[in-house]
Structure 1
């Protein structure tokens, strides 16, 4: 028995909706740790020409010590300003031709919901096809959204400024949120690039203190594979004797969850981000390789905004027999404080180029 075209549309949208509902943030943390971290505290985007964020430039304090009749000086404070961040629309889509379904034993007839009844075998076959099609749609959408949230926005037209712009390897250049970092020193993140491995611990301490001094304790650290290997090699093994427990040394850094490395800094886990490997494959000419980087982020000061995932059933063209499905989200990223974050990169391996400098106290190179 055939299936009505309206039933097919309904079942396809329901299948895609279920695929999304089966993707909790905790699962994204393992597959796409940066996206997962951002989605845990996503902000609702209500629209507008741009997304505005209030930022504190300075305290404008006129604190004084005095005695007797010394006059008190009052000042008019203007410590805040508005940063403006662009938003964009992300879409991904698929279509299944009715003839492709026919090849798999499923006949689609024009009709309203309930006009036809499928056999049990046809239902199983259709469910498998829709599950496969909607799964790759969802996974491809999230993978590419995650990648664009890492990049600086220069990769294509209508892209937003992502992590590589907000927490830049050279924080003295570029306009971010409407502020020119060449003059707006308060709007520069901390950075240390081209760090020699033997100086890694010292530089990380310096960058941590720089974040603490300005914006608070970093609560999320992610890094590429090369950086994690260098960090693990730099860590000295300290063994505490516990007569009640057998000694255990495990040279495998990754734990069961995949992105957990077993490495920590100041008690914060250093998360392996496999997206860094993908970005280096897509952009092989990148001066500072992603796999050599580590980001210390305060997620209270950097936010992801969207208007929710919308599942759309476009009306098919009159002369094409096919099912169409689409995912849409309008999203942006904003920065509240720039100097609450740091990016560190190790010295490039032989044959790679590296840049040095940045906002950090010492690059160690």
Structure 2
């Protein structure tokens, strides 16, 4: 009993499609909160030659004036818009299955027949083999994609510009979406990278006010690393701090007391502060910036930060043909798109000193 190469291709792609449908790439757990939030509100677009364009209102160009009947009235030619341009990028992750692996798992591949002769045992072995590889493919793609959504993208012109590129720790230099922060002060986000325990609350209040000054709405996602979360928790529990935690120990009178020193959650303005485990080691050392990610906290307004996949290229499956010079079979995941923003001032980047 055997299976043909064409049948293997169909089975593999169908299996991968089914696996992703039931375990989709954006069904991520709390381990990768940025990817989770971006995926939940992603905005597909039809495609573009080079860039995704966001229309930005820079001012109102007002000609308003107080006057009396003898004054000459002014009329302004309104020039209120700028365009930000975000290039889109391509992401690929793939898996390979060679025929030796099939043989080792009791599956015969034979292109000389008509196919359709795979046995029940071979089906089970093939399913088990493909499932493991598909799961590894999905999780590996998820890990790398999530990492690069955080990083600046300066390591390669082919890599997506992530959070650290759009909202860097230096908010007065560099470009985002083709607009220069040094030229356009309204294209800046709030940054404070010198937070200390004694004034943590005051500094966070200033950051919050900066975010709601111009933005429609307020930050609705707060992400933080382990060091920042520990500092925030200690500040919240310290004496004399507004919102200091109060604990009670209950004695049931039956031979002991129950005590719980943990906190069930940390919040700012009612918004949960979400722990990002992948920040703890700077994404396995992939980021070498001076300010460790574990010390950072981001106030994000997800109405002004968007993952923009190209329609039809949002983690779709591909099956490249087998090369004539080997006996390997290939399957892949493909994503095309960009991470865009239209109001940097709606966000804040904080970091412990």
User: Which TM-score applies when normalising by structure 2?
Assistant: 0.88
Range with bigger deviation, 117-126 or 320-329: 117-126
Please tell me whether residue 63 in structure 1 is matched to residue 64 in structure 2. yes
Q: State the SS of the aligned residue for 2:169.
A: coil
Q: How many Å apart are 1:129 and its aligned residue?
A: 0.6
Give secondary structure in 2 for the equivalent of 1:30.
Answer: coil
Whether the 8 Å CA contact 2:147–2:283 is kept in 1: the answer is no
Query: For 2:59 and 2:53, how far apart are their aligned partners in 1?
Result: 18
SS in 1 for 2:329: strand
Alpha-carbon distance in 1 for matches of 2:317, 2:287: 34
Distance 1:273 1:192, change over 3 A: same
What's the counterpart of residue 339 of structure 2?
333
Which aligned pairs between 1:138-287 and structure 2 lie closer than 5 A? Answer: 138-215=138-215, 216-236=217-237, 237-239=244-246, 250-253=260-263, 262-283=265-286, 285-287=288-290
Q: Compute the TM-score of the two structures, normalised by the length of structure 1.
A: 0.85
Output the CA distance in 1 between the equivalents of 2:22 and 2:261: 34
Larger mean Cα displacement after TM superposition, 132-141 or 305-314: 305-314
Conserved 8 A contact 1:25-1:39:
no
Contact 1:218 1:299 (8 Å CA) reproduced: yes
Structure 1 unpaired stretches of 5+? 242-246, 256-261, 348-365
For residues 176 and 249 of structure 1, do their structure 2 counterparts lie closer, same or farther at Cα, with a shift above 3 Å needed?
A: farther
1:280·1:291 contact (CA, 8 Å) conserved in 2? no
Q: Which residue of 1 aligns with 2:318?
A: 312
User: For 2:289 and 2:10, how far apart are their aligned partners in 1?
Assistant: 44
Unaligned runs of 5+ in 2: 238-243, 249-256
C-alpha distance in structure 2 between counterparts of 1:22 and 1:249, whole Å: 42
Give 1:343's aligned residue. 349
Residue of structure 2 in register with 1:258 after alignment: none
Alpha-carbon distance, 1:19 to partner? 2.3
Contact 1:221 1:268 in 2 (8 A): yes
Counterpart CA distance in 2 for 1:44 and 1:248 is: 51
Conservation of the 8 A alpha-carbon contact between 2:25 and 2:315: no
SS for the counterpart of 2:279 is helix
Give deviations 1:149-200, integer Å, cap 9, x for gaps. 1111112231122110111111011111111111211111100002112211
Q: Measure the CA separation in 1 of the matches of 2:96 and 2:281.
A: 27
* Alpha-carbon offset, residue 249 of structure 1: 6.9
**SS of 1:294 mapped into structure 2:** strand
Partner of 1:296: 299
1:359 match: none
CA contact 1:304–1:332 (8 Å) conserved in 2? yes
The 1:240/1:52 distance shift into structure 2, 3 A limit, reads same
How much has 1:9 moved relative to structure 2? 1.2
Contact between 1:25 and 1:40, CA under 8 Å: does it hold in 2? Answer: no
What is the CA deviation profile of residues 70-129 of structure 1, one whole-angstrom value per residue up to 9, with x for unaligned ones?
A: 5543212111110111111101111111111101111111168x7232222221111111
Match of 2:15 in 1: 15
Distance in 2 between the 1:20 and 1:249 partners? Answer: 44
Contact 2:174-2:182 within 8 A present in 1 as well: yes
The answer on whether the counterparts of 1:91 and 1:326 sit within 8 Å (CA) in structure 2 is: yes
Within a 5 Å distance, the mapping from 1:57-96 to structure 2 comes to 57-66=58-67, 70=71, 72-96=73-97
> Aligned-pair distance for 1:285?
3.4
Output the CA distance in 2 between the equivalents of 1:302 and 1:77.
Answer: 27
SS across alignment from 1:160? coil
Per mean C-alpha deviation after superposition, the further-off stretch among 274-283 and 52-61 is 274-283
Question: CA shift at 1:240, angstroms?
Answer: 9.9
Aligned length: 335
Q: Is the 8 A contact 1:166 1:176 kept in 2?
A: yes
Measure the CA separation in 1 of the matches of 2:33 and 2:163.
Answer: 13
SS in 2 for 1:44: coil
Q: Which residue of 2 aligns with 1:130?
A: 130
